[in-house]
Structure 1
Amino acid sequence: MSTRTIARRAALAGATLTAALALAACGGGHSAGSGHDMPGTGAPASASPGASASFGDADVMFAQMMIPHHQQAVRMSELAESRAGDAEVRKLATQIKAAQAPEIATMTGWLTAWGRPVPSGGPSGGHLPGMDHGMPGMMSDADMAKLAAASGREFDRQFLTMMIAHHEGAITMAKQEIAGGANADAEAMAQQIVTAQRSEIDTMRKILGRL
């Protein structure tokens, strides 16, 4: 798959996400004790102090979409451990996994505390039934299979190209949370994602340029 194709898919998915979040924002905000909790979600998991504070539909959507997005990035990074040929690619993959795995746990805690469904895991990332709006930068099952079948320099180039598009998608989602979120912790994480992943994109482009 070409870089242009991946970038075009990410852009189209980003436009879909923008519309979905705009609709979600109209749903207003909620608080932990507002009577909007959903049954059958289990007891609250460990979460940050601000997780149970005021939150809105945009915060819920941010967490529900960023969890599977991060899960896929972690899976891609795990593939790099045994398939990457370049030492800097392996180091970057380790860095991405170390940053995003704890964020998955934190966002899972938020959703549980808010009484909202948590996406289930999967080979290419988790999902929720009925979540039919696109996640920008998300790789397809075919993309993941192609990446898993590669090794050495071929893997490195595919990994970097896909992860750049993946990161750009995450930044799009994070910016939507910054603009429309109501929960301070979620907005802080979104800003952290923007800052960290912009820096990683710069690094990946430099590596890709020398391969």
Structure 2
Amino acid sequence: MSAFKRTALRRKPARRLAAVGVVAVGALLLAACGGSGDDMSGMDHGSDNSSASTAATGSADRAGDFNDADVTFAQMMIPHHVQALEMAKLADGRASDPEVKDIAVKIEKAQDPEINTMKDWLKSWNKPTEMESMPGMDHGGSGSGDGMMSDAGMEELKAMKGTEFDKAFAEMMIEHHNGAIAMAKDEQKNGKNADAKKMATDIVKGQSAEVEQLQSVVDRL
């Protein structure tokens, strides 16, 4: 065998080894890329979790921005609004004055969403929606300063129709609104939560305007 042939034979295994080496290196590179992708994916998930944690912390911070006055405001205003809705619903089929009917609809549209909002606040604050003891809020009678109607007063209103209902409704709602305005002003003065204080401001403004309108109804009838 010539020296040329012997050299060629020796080179063939070397070429095969080189080819195997290239494949192996390629496989390692692919594995490394795949591993890098998995690591990056994990990093992305970590980022998502971090964002969620930050959002949760922000919510918790906002929920913690309240004091006892805010809690009392929400706990007392919820049943107060509930009774206002009961009175407003009585106007359907009983009221005859167009202005009284219009005011009743406004009360329902304004106060029903506010009830849900206040319940959400109390839930986020980990507080019950009702106070254990709520002086003056037991429907025992008006005159306690909160404007709540007694059970007897509500029954009397239910039995009325026409002009008699219109006038009684207006007079009772004036007293009821004045009670809510007093509670809202207390929240404006002593509350801490920005949303609760804003609602209190809206209540003072909106219900004060309705008191004037209701008084004009009483004067007219």
Q: Is the 8 A contact 1:50 1:185 kept in 2?
A: no
Q: Tell me which residue corresponds to 1:132.
A: 135
Report which of the two structures shows the higher radius of gyration computed on alpha carbons.
2
Give structure 1 stretches of 5+ with no counterpart.
1-47, 120-127
The alpha carbon displacement at 1:49 in A equals 9.7
Q: Equivalents in 1 of 2:196, 2:62: separation in Å? A: 8
Name 1:155's counterpart in structure 2. 165
| Aligned residue pairs, count | 156
Contact conserved, 1:51 with 1:114, CA < 8 A, in 2?
A: no
The equivalent residue for 2:204 is 194
String of CA shifts for 1:123-150, please: whole Å, max 9, x gaps. Answer: xxxxx44223556101110111111111
Query: Amino acid of the residue matched to residue 166 of structure 2?
Result: D
- Correspondent of 2:103 among 75, 92, 105: 92
Contact 1:65 1:135 in 2 (8 A): no
Tell me, what secondary structure is at the counterpart of 1:82? coil
Q: Which amino acid aligns with 2:88?
A: S
Partner of 2:67: 56
| Residue pairs, 1:1-211, within 5 angstroms | 52-119=63-130, 128-133=131-136, 136-211=146-221
1:176-209 Cα deviation digits (max 9, x unpaired): 0000001010000000000000100111111111
Query: How much does 1:53 deviate?
Result: 3.9
Report the alpha carbon displacement of residue 52 of structure 1 after superposing the two structures with TM: 1.1
Name the amino acid aligned to 1:111. L
Verify the 8 A CA contact 1:164 1:201 in the aligned structure 2: yes
Unmatched tracts of structure 2, length 5 or more:
1-58, 137-143
Relative to the length of structure 2, the TM-score reads 0.67
The higher relative CO (CA closer than 8 Å, separation ≥ 6) is in 1
How has the CA–CA distance of structure 1 residues 70 and 151 changed in structure 2, closer, same or farther, with 3 Å as cutoff? same
CA RMSD of aligned residues (A): 1.8
Distance 1:50 1:169, change over 3 A: farther
- Of Structure 1 and Structure 2, the greater helix share is in 2
**SS of match in other structure, 2:182:** helix
Aligned partner of residue 138 in structure 1, secondary structure = coil
In 2, the alpha carbon distance for the partners of 1:97 and 1:49 equals 31
